[in-house]
Amino acid sequence: MGNEIKEVFLAKSNQKAADLDHRKKINFNIGKYNAVVPVGKSQFRDLELARERAKNIKWRALETLDQQLENFESAFTARGGKVIWAENAEDARREILRICKEKNCTTLVKSKSMVTEEIKLNEFLEKNHIESVETDLGEYIQQLDGEPPYHIVTPAMHKSKEDVARLFADKLGTDPKLGPGDLTLEARARLREKYVLAEVGLTGANFLISDIGAIAVTENEGNARLSCAWPKTHIVVAGIEKVIPTMNDLGLFWPLLATYGTGQQITVYNTIVSGPRQPGESDGPEEMIVILLDNGRTNLLANPKTRESLYCIRCGACLNACPVYKNIGGHTYGTTYSGPIGSVITPHLKGLNDWKHLSHASSLCGNCTEVCAVRINLHELLLENRHEAAREGFAPFAEKLAWKAWKVGVSNRKWMNKGKASVKNWMVNKLVKGWSSTRGPIDFPEKSFNQLWREKNKLS
């Protein structure tokens, strides 16, 4: 299974890396991001201190995760909310279906939830004859096209405005020459109809606020507010790592997320929802349920070295900075979370043996670590994943044998100095096909540096 997934990944990578049209679109969109992020960063007097403080807050939250989640549940249920603990994707899907059936739901509107992509909720609800409608514009575009999100923050980053116009013309019958503004209005008009029909609204959560028992949602379109306030039932699906200790922490995390996510100083809509409609209130759902999802996150939590990856606030900065992501694209990874953070967490969420190849899909340049909003040492965690895969014995026999021979050879300088350059060239360029398949040929010099040094210094 692992080799099949790897081979598909390599085939798609080779194809996408040669797609110049794709590269042009991605460089254009990431270029716009790179132009505005420095403006957002200018709001911080000491940016590095802010990042370090955010990392420390997430460290505290995860070191006391059981306590933080229990505090959240206690405060949230005190205001009439309900909490469901889901160990895996199947548990979460089953509970969502149960709620939908109780409410006789035929239409569900959804916003701001990568976690529901993780558990494949749309496909599941469709099989159970429930229409699940993405209401965020980027997600809506991807749903129309039958594709998963391409990017954590900008799901349709790989599409140009002309691509979207053609898609709308094909799926919705609109004029193929419509511009971005008219396309947005077209989507808005159609989605507003769905809000009226929907019996259930579903959102994710950027943060779970422990001390007040509330969720915090960050968005630029306002669709999450409509999804959680208009239908009579509001379901939240959030990973357990989303928790932060106090509401005051948002004063740091909201600006960081906005700056590193989209280059804004603050996102347009920042909402705190602490439960269903209270007595005397005119707006909001009659019922609110939060599903706390594990789905492999405790595997990361239990590992002292990889636990740090749970600090991620899903800003997407590491994807925009990664040279590999910019060449092979988001869909090539074959998993919900792509780019450096996806390569770090996916092997632990879905199985190290099947997904270890993602940790090798990196230049280890360290740019992901440099741009991370909460200073996660991503490139070191990629190396840690490689080490764990080797330690667990997941490497193929031929690879183990090759590295053992290499270790023996490089441990003996006299052996390394022996042999003609032509023989060494043949061994690397012809015998070791894994190297030459994606790289130019190596041309060894007739004498090694060690030999030249000894001759110059007249050493025996």
| pLDDT tens readout for residues 156-170 | 999 999 999 999 999
pLDDT digits (tens, 9 = 90+) for 307-336: 999 999 999 999 999 999 999 999 999 999
Taking each helix axis from N to C terminus, what angle separates 250-262 and 47-63, rounded to the nearest 10 degrees?
120
Q: With cut-offs at 50, 70 and 90, classify the pLDDT of residue 43.
A: very high
In the sheet that holds 207-209, the strands lie side by side as: 243-244, 207-209, 214-219, 269-273
Q: Tell me phi and psi for residue 335, to 5 degrees.
A: -145, 165
Q: With cut-offs at 50, 70 and 90, classify the pLDDT of residue 402.
A: confident
DSSP alpha helices (H): ranges in 42-179?
47-63, 65-78, 89-102, 114-118, 121-127, 137-144, 161-172
Report whether 243 contacts 17 (CB < 8 A): no
pLDDT digits (tens, 9 = 90+) for 174-200: 999 999 999 999 999 999 999 999 999
Residue-level pLDDT at 269: 96
Whole-number Å distance between alpha carbons of 103 and 97: 10
pLDDT digits (tens, 9 = 90+) for 411-449: 888 877 877 888 888 877 877 766 777 778 888 888 888
Residue 132 has pLDDT above 80, yes or no: yes
In the chain, what percentage of residues exceed pLDDT 70?
A: 98
Residue 1 has pLDDT above 70, yes or no: no
Residue-level pLDDT at 25: 94
Q: Return the number of other C-beta atoms located less than 10 Å from residue 456's C-beta.
A: 8
In eight-state DSSP terms, residue 356 is G
Whole-number Å distance between alpha carbons of 106 and 208: 28
Report whether 131 contacts 124 (CB < 8 A): no
Q: Which domains does the chain have, with CATH numbers?
A: 1-42+315-395 (no CATH), 46-295 (3.40.50.10420), 400-456 (no CATH)
Q: With cut-offs at 50, 70 and 90, classify the pLDDT of residue 450.
A: confident
pLDDT digits (tens, 9 = 90+) for 235-285: 999 999 999 999 999 999 999 999 999 999 999 999 999 999 999 888 899
Burial label for 414, CB within 10 Å (0-12, 13-18, 19+), is exposed
Q: What is the mean pLDDT of the chain?
A: 93
Give CA separation, 202 vs 5, 96, 198, 267, in Å: 31, 9, 10, 20
Report whether 256 contacts 207 (CB < 8 A): no
Burial track 104-141 (b if 16+ CB lie within 10 A, e otherwise): ebebbbbbbbbbbbbbebbebbeeeebebbbbbbbbbb
Which of 306, 176, 313, 293 is closest to 253 using CA atoms?
313
Residue-level pLDDT at 444: 85
In the sheet that holds 82-86, the strands lie side by side as: 82-86, 287-293, 233-239, 200-203, 107-111, 131-134
In eight-state DSSP terms, residue 136 is S
Q: What is the arithmetic mean of pLDDT over 280-300?
A: 95
Report whether 110 contacts 116 (CB < 8 A): yes
Structural tokens at position 31:
């270029």
Residue-level pLDDT at 451: 87
Q: What is the arithmetic mean of pLDDT over 116-136?
A: 96
Q: With cut-offs at 50, 70 and 90, classify the pLDDT of residue 234.
A: very high
Taking each helix axis from N to C terminus, what angle separates 250-262 and 20-41, rounded to the nearest 10 degrees?
140
Q: With cut-offs at 50, 70 and 90, classify the pLDDT of residue 217.
A: very high
Which of 217, 275, 218, 216 is closest to 248 using CA atoms?
216
Residue-level pLDDT at 92: 98
Q: What is the arithmetic mean of pLDDT over 38-54?
A: 96
Residue-level pLDDT at 436: 73
Burial label for 412, CB within 10 Å (0-12, 13-18, 19+), is exposed
In sequence order, the 6+-apart residues with CB closer than 8 A to the CB of 323 are: 363, 365, 367
Q: Is residue 309 helix, strand or coil?
A: helix
Residue 2 has pLDDT above 70, yes or no: no
Residue-level pLDDT at 98: 98
Structural tokens at position 233:
């039932």
Residue 212 has pLDDT above 90, yes or no: yes
Residue 355 has pLDDT above 70, yes or no: yes
